[in-house]
Amino acid sequence: MKSQYLHSGIRIEDYERYVGAETVERILDKSRPFQDRYVANVNSTYYGGGVAELLGPLVLLMNGLGIRTEWRVIQGNPDFFSITKKMHNALQGGEINLSDRKKQIYEDVIRENSLRNYLEHDMVIIHDPQPLPMIEHYRKRGPWVWRCHVDLSCPHKELWHYFVPFIEKYDAVILSIKEYMQNLKTPTLFFLPAIDPFSTKNRELDDQEIDERLEHYGIPDDLPLVVQISRFDYWKDPQGVIDAFKIARREVDCTLVLLGNVATDDPEGTQVYESLLDCQEERIIILSRQDTALVNALQARAAVVLQKSIREGFGLTVSEAMWKGTPVIGGNVGGIRYQIEDGVNGFLVSTVEQAAERIVTLLKDENLRREMGEKGREKVRQNFLLSRYLEQYIDLFNSFETIYRLNYHP
């Protein structure tokens, strides 16, 4: 069976070269019952951050399979996003003063969004805490799923208790890894995120294209590049990266590039970026730019990529760099542990000193970099390409079929 890809762009068949014909055929077969069904995704930003990164290609692939899949983005004022960012931080273990005023603003903005959005789809997928309460305002026509991408290993208790009544109205919860499992009445599933190998960010670039991007931003590559690419967010520990680099360069000459962006739903980003600017010098380059091809060029050209997060739901940047054959040093947390096998295809670290030591080890050993890089790419090919993620959603739709018919259309 051929997918009826109505849009220009990547089709599931294009994945055959990476995952084989059998996998592609299986996905096509499984998706057949969902032709012309309607699916809605709702999140809080069009760009910046992993959720938007995933939704873009996933929604297109689903439409290519004939599943009528939409992506809606909620609107909110700065107060709302300041509150939801605090909630995001608290879900990852930070503090929050959960006042009635905050709850009121949060719920009011979501109610307004619910008035503007008709969600009469066969399936609704709500992403992350920002639009979570939307479920309060609809009569369900099919299953609603809450897909939470953040690191839930130790959520703030009071906030979690406030969220539970909303969450338990959903038909299923999807988390990235089993360590984030919470005590909920709602069935919980685990989907590790994945990358789109055909995107501007991940497609193969030739040397000339890489040179052009680096030159455009005046990034010298006469010395090995040590790179971290992340939203400007304290959880990504950009300061720790600079400190580790400063220790490492006592032993090996290198250049650090910290590239970051600020998502529209993240009001803290600018402050984090500005707090780093004093650290800039000739060999410490800190850039705030949204340039996808530059992300690709840096991940491809880097000798070492860091993702020294303190908390990390998954960390798409890790798979992105591994896919380019670049070894990654990652924080020993959350979803990063599922991508990096310590000492095999990269290194896991818990301190600045360990990160510095690993930078030195990798920069001094080209063979090790190549070996780890090759294993990293293979790990991503087998586990973290979007075809696998798509298939998990289709399996979920399938498993809902019976319940959906029984409960919603008796």
Shortest Å distance, C-beta 199 to ligand UDP: 9
* Residue 378, φ and ψ in degrees, nearest 5: -65, -40
261 binds ligand UDP (CB under 6 A): yes
| Calpha distance 344→322 (Å, rounded) | 12
Query: Site for ligand UDP (CB under 6 A): which residue of 295, 297, 321, 362?
Result: 295
259 binds ligand UDP (CB under 6 A): yes
240 binds ligand UDP (CB under 6 A): no
What are the start-end ranges of the E strands in 265-362? 284-288, 304-307, 328-331, 346-349
CA 269 to the chain's CA centroid:
17
Binding region for ligand UDP (CB under 6 A) out of 69-77, 212-220, 310-318, 336-344:
310-318
Binding region for ligand UDP (CB under 6 A) out of 83-91, 117-125, 225-233, 389-397:
225-233
Query: Total number of residues binding ligand UDP (CB under 6 A)?
Result: 17
DSSP 8-state secondary structure symbol assigned to residue 179: G
Return the H-helix or E-strand segment holding 401: helix 386-408
How many other C-beta atoms lie within 10 A of the C-beta of residue 120? Answer: 12
How many other C-beta atoms lie within 10 A of the C-beta of residue 94? Answer: 16
Residues 332-361 that bind ligand UDP (CB under 6 A): none
Shortest Å distance, C-beta 331 to ligand UDP: 11
302 binds ligand UDP (CB under 6 A): no
Binding region for ligand UDP (CB under 6 A) out of 156-164, 213-221, 256-264, 275-283:
256-264
By the 10 Å C-beta count (0-12 exposed, 13-18 middle, 19+ buried), 293 is classed as: middle
Comparison of 150 and 244: residue with beta carbon closer to ligand UDP: 150
Binding region for ligand UDP (CB under 6 A) out of 11-19, 71-79, 84-92, 316-324:
316-324
Comparison of 92 and 361: residue with beta carbon closer to ligand UDP: 92
Comparison of 49 and 142: residue with beta carbon closer to ligand UDP: 49
| Calpha distance 201→196 (Å, rounded) | 8
Q: Hey, what are 149's tokens?
A: 């991408």
317 binds ligand UDP (CB under 6 A): yes
Residues 168-207 that bind ligand UDP (CB under 6 A): 201
Characterize 121-150 residue by residue with b for buried, 16 or more Cβ atoms within 10 angstroms of its Cβ, and e for exposed: bbbbbbbbbbbbbbbeeeebbbbbbbbbbb
Comparison of 148 and 259: residue with beta carbon closer to ligand UDP: 259
Shortest Å distance, C-beta 195 to ligand UDP: 8
CB–CB of 148/129 below 8 Å?
yes
CA distances from 10 to 16, 24, 171, 345 (A): 12, 13, 31, 29
292 binds ligand UDP (CB under 6 A): yes
Binding region for ligand UDP (CB under 6 A) out of 65-73, 313-321, 352-360, 388-396:
313-321
Binding region for ligand UDP (CB under 6 A) out of 46-54, 116-124, 336-344, 371-379:
46-54
| Calpha distance 350→252 (Å, rounded) | 21
Maximum Cα interatomic distance, the chain, rounded to a whole number of Å: 70
315 binds ligand UDP (CB under 6 A): yes
53 binds ligand UDP (CB under 6 A): yes
272 binds ligand UDP (CB under 6 A): no
- The 304-307 sheet, strands edge to edge: 284-288, 255-260, 225-229, 304-307, 328-331, 346-349
Residue corresponding to tokens 């309060």: 136
| Calpha distance 133→111 (Å, rounded) | 8
Q: Which residues, listed in sequence order, are joined to residue 306 by a DSSP beta bridge?
A: 228, 329
143 binds ligand UDP (CB under 6 A): no
316 binds ligand UDP (CB under 6 A): yes
327 binds ligand UDP (CB under 6 A): no
- Chain residues in the site for ligand UDP (CB under 6 A): 49-50, 53, 201, 229-231, 259-261, 292, 295, 314-317, 320
